Structure 1
């Protein structure tokens, strides 16, 4: 399984990165499958550096803040208006219950048909796994001030050496403060991609919104994750600061996500 950081700047695009978007690829023995976790503002252009849009097999949205979903509007245009037609069926999109209506409203469309002719929308059911090719994606409710917000636990089983299948686990926090759902999602993960938008000391008065580097590290440690990759860091938050907060509380490998970098899981 491979993770590509398409966008990792928190809350809105920064000068060096779009907002949240992560491309995950895995092989089932016959072909490579590609899924996308979040498609935030500015991400649609950048993701085309790494894949043709028609090669995306599914999109998974953690929640409906614009920095995690708004470029679905641009993808709607690509699907609907590509000269010669879109070469695949409707693109599957999993997200909160309001996803289809929110996207139609954002683009100024009537809710019926909205974007249903381009996308096959399915609502998340907490803890109910979704299977796409070699991937199984399970949503865990987390602590963020919207009606629905989820962390995503992604497992992928691929052919290994001597024909023995290998399963790897990637967990993506979405946006959240500390909570049991986050730790449950990250339990035993090979890689924990976790937001760290806040700084200790500076943001102590803001509860139930985002993690600091320290709280991300504590969640990773409690979950027994093997590697921690800090992401969703806004332009006004120091990457050095959140990294220095995480290292003393997490004994595994820890780093900061960088747009355009690929990680093998």
Structure 2
């Protein structure tokens, strides 16, 4: 699998990155390349078009209904519905928490009578119920965040390169669902919006670098890629927190970087890193 970071800024776009949006791609056993998006935070839609044509997106997955993770779906609606050249593909499959259709309608002042069914095929997550999208199997897990039905996502892939697993935290504090989602993951893409010592009074909302690393260690994840850092976080401070408890590969997500995620060979220790940055488009 390949992970391209479209946006990774925490809570709102920074001067250099949109909010949360990630593209995962893989080639199936028949030679077809599939591309799925994970979250569509504010600012993501513009940068996304530097990397892929919108009609080449096979599905969109949303972790939870906060604007920094889903609001640019509103722009996707416009791109699909109002392009005068036409949209020559079926509606985009959209997997999200309950209430996603009403949420998007409200962003345009529309009602269910209007509907967005011509732009999206709506699917609502059911906790720990996997869905299949091409070579991907995606399983949502309940996590802790102050919004209705937040999820971490476990994305497994059987491709021409073997079986690989990417786990994505969404937004959460420490909880069992996070560890389940990241179990034996080849790459754990995990938020770290808070900082030890500064934000200790805030619980049930976000992780620190240390708490993200504790989850990665408990899950046996092979690589930890820290993301969702707001502009006031020093990335090296957050990385240093993670290094105190986790000895696998640790990185800080970078906007427009692409990471190759390889299967876990049988003969290497669980925490041996094979995370590789293969390029960054500016």
In the superposition, the TM-score normalised over structure 1's length comes to: 0.97
Matches within 5 A, 1:1-265: 1-28=1-28, 29-160=30-161, 166-265=162-261
Structure 1 counterpart of 2:279: none
Instruction: Provide the C-alpha distance between the structure 2 equivalents of 1:159 and 1:176, rounded to a whole number of angstroms.
Output: 33
Q: Describe the SS at the equivalent of 2:39.
A: strand
How far apart are 1:111 and its partner, in Å? Answer: 2.2
How far apart are 1:30 and its partner, in Å? Answer: 2.4
The Cα offsets for residues 185-214 of structure 1, whole Å up to 9 and x where unpaired, read as 000000000000000000000010000000
Instruction: Provide the C-alpha distance between the structure 2 equivalents of 1:138 and 1:25, rounded to a whole number of angstroms.
Output: 17
Q: Describe the SS at the equivalent of 1:34.
A: strand
Instruction: Provide the C-alpha distance between the structure 2 equivalents of 1:181 and 1:112, rounded to a whole number of angstroms.
Output: 36
- Cα RMSD (Å) of the superposition? 0.7
Structure 1: tracts of 5 or more residues without a match: 161-165
Structure 1 counterpart of 2:272: none
8 Å Cα contact 1:105-1:111 kept in structure 2: no
Instruction: Provide the C-alpha distance between the structure 2 equivalents of 1:97 and 1:199, rounded to a whole number of angstroms.
Output: 31
How far apart are 1:99 and its partner, in Å? Answer: 0.4
Structure 2 counterpart of 1:163: none
8 Å Cα contact 2:185-2:220 kept in structure 1: yes
In the superposition, the TM-score normalised over structure 2's length comes to: 0.91
Q: Describe the SS at the equivalent of 1:216.
A: helix
Where has structure 1 moved over 4 Å in runs of 4 or more? Answer: none
Instruction: Provide the C-alpha distance between the structure 2 equivalents of 1:108 and 1:47, rounded to a whole number of angstroms.
Output: 25
8 Å Cα contact 1:156-1:167 kept in structure 2: yes
8 Å Cα contact 1:168-1:190 kept in structure 2: yes
Instruction: Provide the C-alpha distance between the structure 1 equivalents of 2:31 and 2:251, rounded to a whole number of angstroms.
Output: 33
Instruction: Provide the C-alpha distance between the structure 1 equivalents of 2:252 and 2:75, rounded to a whole number of angstroms.
Output: 28
Instruction: Provide the C-alpha distance between the structure 2 equivalents of 1:25 and 1:246, rounded to a whole number of angstroms.
Output: 27
Q: Describe the SS at the equivalent of 1:39.
A: coil
Instruction: Provide the C-alpha distance between the structure 1 equivalents of 2:2 and 2:160, rounded to a whole number of angstroms.
Output: 14
